[in-house]
Amino acid sequence: MKKRLVILLTAASMIFATACGNDDAKKTSKKTTSNVAENNNSDSNSDQSKDNNSKPTEEPATKEPVVEILPTLEKDAYVDFSGIKVPVTITWEDFQKFVTDNNWKIVSDKDDAPSDANFHGDVEVETNCGVVQFNFMPDAYDTYSVLEGVNIDYDILTDKVSICGVSCTSKLADLDKALKAELSDSETSKSYHIDDYLTVRMINRDDDKFDMSISRYPWARRKVDILEYLEHINADTELGEKIVVETKENTNTRRDMYGRLTIALPENVIYKSTDIATDQFTYKDGNDKTNYIGLGYNCNYVKGNRTCSEIEFSQELKKSIDIWNSVNTLPARISEIQIGEYSGYELYKPSPSDSRSNVRTYLMWIEGYQIEFYISYYNDVNQELYNEALDVLMQAIASVEKVQ
């Protein structure tokens, strides 16, 4: 059973200027001093000097430091406990050492903490600012436990704890100006993005006083870095350089893609057939001779109106890679590609013989749909013609538009 230790601290009101990832964050302050006449020892001013010198000098009046609320990269962010700074990316192993080194103490049951058998867990820690709950989760590859979030109670911590300038006494109007707010129907809380996968939720108590919940997205809710993942699993495939294709003006006739999208194709891209939502074409040269170059696209997701986020797109590709890797059918090379405004991956499978074609597949995330394009060609294809056909395919991909 967890024990909730509540310690009420009475302290003079003060705000700590805090900026994540930069100990040299700018601080501003102003001082006002009384005007004191100079004593120049002249006869004409001697009496006035005596009067002035007999009056006590006023103490300088200081203005509280201005706290900067700053968006910050997740890897650089930390939670500041009155000068003791916990990196939000800290591992459970390093956190335990951090607790000891700073004379903090874990006060919750050990059974609730992360373990080798379960990377999920939470602990309550007696910090220099009061008792705080820290949550942990598995890392990207389920190899160890990392910090997931920190829950901060206004009654205990007030403005002694902050992240990127945000504390329990911050004004929502200031956060609205500096950070991106998440859409929410809640009337009692509001969440803000410090980074893409790092948020702080302000839970309204009363009179603009807030509890704070700092959270990192679990990896199932993040876009997968596919090339990094391939490196992690030591995949037997080449990791290609990123391909960037600039778009050109495209006035070709548009072809319907199941009433949801359109694509612009030139007249020398000749339609052949459709097989399970895959439209197949042949590329012809200027003499209207058919060459051994095939173009096509699989619109299975478009046909079924199955949309996905870019995060879901990358997660699905990760699952496919796991399957390909398990049966030793990975492409020979995988490269990230950017075609105009659309992103995805090129998968290259070379021909095993002259009697079979090479295939370059382009898995693209376009207008919320996953679409698979391809170009196939034999080893003896004319290279100049191949380059021409490839450029046509790239510009066709860039031309895809959503039907309004």
Task: Give the pLDDT score at 203.
Answer: 93
In tens digits, the chain (404 residues) has pLDDT values of 333 333 333 333 333 333 344 444 333 333 333 333 333 344 444 444 444 444 444 545 444 445 589 899 999 999 999 999 999 999 999 999 999 999 999 999 989 999 999 999 999 999 999 999 999 999 999 999 999 999 998 887 666 899 999 998 899 999 999 999 988 767 789 999 999 999 999 998 877 789 999 999 999 999 999 999 999 999 999 999 999 999 999 999 999 999 999 999 999 999 999 999 999 999 987 665 556 799 999 999 999 999 999 999 999 999 999 999 999 999 999 999 999 999 999 999 998 888 789 999 999 999 999 999 999 998 888 888 899 999 999 999 999 999 97
Identify the pLDDT of residue 96. 97
Q: What is the pLDDT of residue 290?
A: 56
CA–CA gap between residue 169 and residue 218 (Å, rounded) = 28
| Number of Cβ atoms within 10 Å of the Cβ of 52 | 15
Query: For residue 185, what pLDDT is reported?
Result: 67
What confidence score (pLDDT) does residue 154 get? 86
What is the predicted pLDDT for the residue at 286? Answer: 63
Could you tell me how many residues make up the chain?
Answer: 404
Give pLDDT, residue 401: 96
